[in-house]
Amino acid sequence: MRSLLLLLSRSGRLRRWIEASRLARRMASRFVAGDLLPDALAVGRRINGQGMFVTFDHLGENVTLVEEAAASREVYLRTLDEIAVSRMRANVSIKLTQFGMDVSEQACRANVEQLVCRAADLGSFVRVDMESSVYTTRTLALVTQLHERYGSVGTVIQAYLYRSRADIEALCERGIRVRLCKGAYLEPEEVAFRRKSEVDRNYIELMEILLTRGVYPAIATHDPRMIDATREFARRHDIPRNGFEFQMLYGIRRDLQRQLAAEDYRVRVYVPFGRAWYPYFMRRLAERPANVLFLAKNLLRN
């Protein structure tokens, strides 16, 4: 089921059908703050008010025109400015394919550099999300270069990839901030663990490296077992609660988000906004088959 949904997340025809469905839109709104930046800022302010941090994601990926990439950059520049003006406790998360990686690597680099430079000026931070393994090497190379120059950028490592241990070691050595997640894309078995038990085991091993040697790591998961392992490891090694943060997605396990914040852990909520919600929504469905059955039954009925 997971593989099928991830495959369908690339289908243009299904995308048009799903995006036109009012039910799917309603379901997607559970995971997406709204179409526009003011919608996202309103959600962000509410989350800040609950004692949690935010990272904003303007939805969109795999753009095919340099103009689209430039438009994404502009939305993100505005987002950073708004965060600064309203003094929100927030930063931004971007995808390189949204900044033009598939069109022109040079244009992509220039777009990201502009954003990272603005973040440095504003004392903010840009997180470069990790997409499928086709982009891993290029993502790490770009982040490493920009980090050397500006500092205000970090990235994401996916526990399902075999290469991740080596990548984390290199990033820790360079003092680059890492968000650790399990990984959300369809990957061949030559590059990624298939079984959940293997991904979880690797997640815990990588979390321990990050908490010991990383710079302000982000432990991104809704899995109570991963969260408990992190809390336990931090307790045993006297790592203070403000030395790392938990991150979760908007609309998922709000109860757990609030509970951790109430226990004085740092929690950052990933808040997506924008009209291009289809691939993001499909990845969320792939993580929770119960959601899919509900959607499929109702779509077929309508």
Instruction: List residues binding ligand FDA (CB under 6 A).
Output: 129-130, 156, 158, 181-185, 220-223, 247-249, 252-253, 270, 284, 287-288
Which is closer to ligand FDA, CB of 65 or CB of 201?
201
State yes or no: is 179 an active-site residue: yes
Half-sphere exposure of 206 (CA within 13 A, CB side): 32
Active-site residue (options: 109, 179, 268, 284): 179
State yes or no: is 258 an active-site residue: no
The sign of the torsion formed by the CA atoms of 283, 63, 274, 144 equals positive
Active-site residue (options: 57, 73, 118, 129): 129
Phi/psi-derived region of residue 151, left when phi > 0, alpha when psi is between -120 and 50, beta in every other case: left
CB of 58 to ligand FDA, least distance (A): 14
Which is closer to ligand FDA, CB of 113 or CB of 246?
246
Q: How far apart are CA 244 and CA 229, in angstroms?
A: 14
CB of 253 to ligand FDA, least distance (A): 6
CB of 184 to ligand FDA, least distance (A): 4
Residue 273, classed as helix, strand or coil, is strand
CB of 290 to ligand FDA, least distance (A): 8
73 contacts 98 by C-beta, under 8 angstroms:
no
Which residues lie below 8 Å from residue 170, measured CB to CB, with a gap of 6+? 140
Which is closer to ligand FDA, CB of 69 or CB of 229?
229
Q: How far apart are CA 188 and CA 171, in angstroms?
A: 24
Q: How far is CA 241 from CA 49, 97, 222, 258, in A?
A: 19, 34, 18, 15
DSSP conformation letters of 24-92:
HHHHHTTT---SSHHHHHHHHHHHHHTT-EEEEEE---S--SHHHHHHHHHHHHHHHHHHHHTT-SEEE
Which is closer to ligand FDA, CB of 61 or CB of 113?
61
Six-digit token pair at 189? Answer: 């078995």
Main-chain dihedrals φ then ψ at residue 109, nearest 5 degrees: -60, -45
Which is closer to ligand FDA, CB of 37 or CB of 218?
218
Query: Cα–Cα–Cα angle for 49, 51, 53, nearest 5°?
Result: 95
CB of 268 to ligand FDA, least distance (A): 7
Which is closer to ligand FDA, CB of 91 or CB of 158?
158
CB of 198 to ligand FDA, least distance (A): 12
CB of 104 to ligand FDA, least distance (A): 22
Which is closer to ligand FDA, CB of 115 or CB of 156?
156
Which candidate, 114, 108, 158, 111, places its Cα nearest to that of 132?
158
Q: What letters, b where the CB count within 10 A reaches 16 and e where it falls short, cover 199-227?
A: bbebbeebbebbbeebeebbbbbbeeebb
Which positions are annotated as active-site residues?
A: 129, 179
